Amino acid sequence: MKYTEESDKVSYSLGLSIASNLIASGVRTINTPAFIDAIETAYAGKQPEISPDEANKILQGFFQKLQNERGSAAKKAGEKFLADNKQQPGVVTLPSGLQYKIISQGSGAVPKATDTVRCHYEGRLIDGTVFDSSYRRKQPADFPVNGVIAGWVEALQIMPVGSKWQLFIPSELAYGSHGAGQSIGPNETLVFDIELLDIIK
């Protein structure tokens, strides 16, 4: 169907936007007739089949279930990834579960927890999706060593300035069961390339 009227185009665009947001939130299937019925009911000012309070409770439970399922799947995938990665040449596994691989080793000072450092970095999910990159911004970042995720805190305190390492960070040393924003879901294992440029005096 082709839409030529402005109102039709706006309505169709709203539908696309809502559907895209729902898919991004993990809602992969939907009962379209019930969805349309709810929209028509709301716009007509009719009494809904489900009260707003009950609808909120239903949605809270639904999205909590989605979050739990996503977190459980991510946890299993991360554990398998780390178990396989542990066997790769050059990968060191620390008692905490943090893994790292030295790409190039510097000869500078090693930061303390109280230091502020300057780094270039790129963060990825285990499927390769990049969620943050100072390289892409073409601007290194400064931050306190003890002000970042636990995996970084541990790695930076054994990493000499001038080094470039690859970190493989279990979820409990990253953002845990809460995740971070839209890009990092619950229980995600993360991969970082970190280049330690300097300790800021």
Write the CB contacts of 188 (distance below 8 Å, at least 6 apart in sequence).
74, 78, 125, 126, 171, 174, 175, 179
Residues carrying an active site annotation = 121, 131-132, 149, 175, 192
Burial of 165 (0-12, 13-18, 19+ CB in 10 A): buried
d(CA 169, CA 164): 16
Closest CA to 173 of 192, 199, 159: 192
d(CA 25, CA 197): 37
How many helical (H) and strand (E) elements, i.e. helices and strands, does the chain have? 5, 7
d(CA 41, CA 10): 19
Closest CA to 126 of 65, 69, 167, 72: 167
Q: How far from 184 is each of 24, 73, 75, 163, 191, CA to CA, in Å?
A: 12, 13, 13, 26, 12
Note whether 123 and 178 are within 8 A (CB): no
